[in-house]
Amino acid sequence: MVRTGMTAALMMALAACSGGESAPAATAGQAAAGAPQAEFRTELNSQELMAHVIDYNAFEIWHRQGWIYSADGVEELFPTDDEGWFAAENAAATLAELSNTLLLPGRVPPDADDAADWISYAHELNRTSLVAMQRAEAQDKEAFFDAGGDIYVVCRSCHEQFVIGDIE
């Protein structure tokens, strides 16, 4: 695809500008030597973050997959062109990156057991979203559908523990 070639060209240009040396990536909570530490601005509470940002992107994935069976026949919800698949891919990539917002200071529960579970769910959301992104890029309907199901399982499991308790 064109964007893949453009991405590769951009990465090569950036590598050339770096002088061939790369600095090690900073880990969470660790700033590069001499760099100012960023201040996180988490104005949205967890419920607003979920409703307006994370859920929105999850639904951008789910609304682009599956089948509707009716008396009129079967309607596929999968994208029908490259633009639609690219939108699905973008929603999955966005959701993967948004999983990191769940790990910002003030969003991780203070209880150690809950914090470990919360971090695990956030990491699993990242992993399953990246899989969905890859499957959308490949335009593989069945695999994309399965990846969406995996995202749903992660969301539901986290919500059962942290939002609504046991659901039927």
pLDDT the model gives residue 46: 85
Q: Report, as an integer, the average pLDDT of 73-94.
A: 98
- All residues at 6 or more sequence positions from 41 whose CB lies less than 8 Å from its CB, including other chains: none
- What are the residue ranges spanned by the domains of the chain? 42-162
pLDDT digits over 39-52, tens only?
888 899 888 999 99
Averaged pLDDT, 121-145: 98
- pLDDT over 50 at 132, yes or no: yes
Q: What is the pTM of this model?
A: 0.76
* pLDDT (tens digit per residue) in 54-72: 999 999 999 999 999 999 9
| CA 56/CA 51 separation, integer angstroms | 7
Q: Cα 60 to chain center, whole Å? A: 11
CATH 1.10.150 for the 42-162 domain, yes or no: no
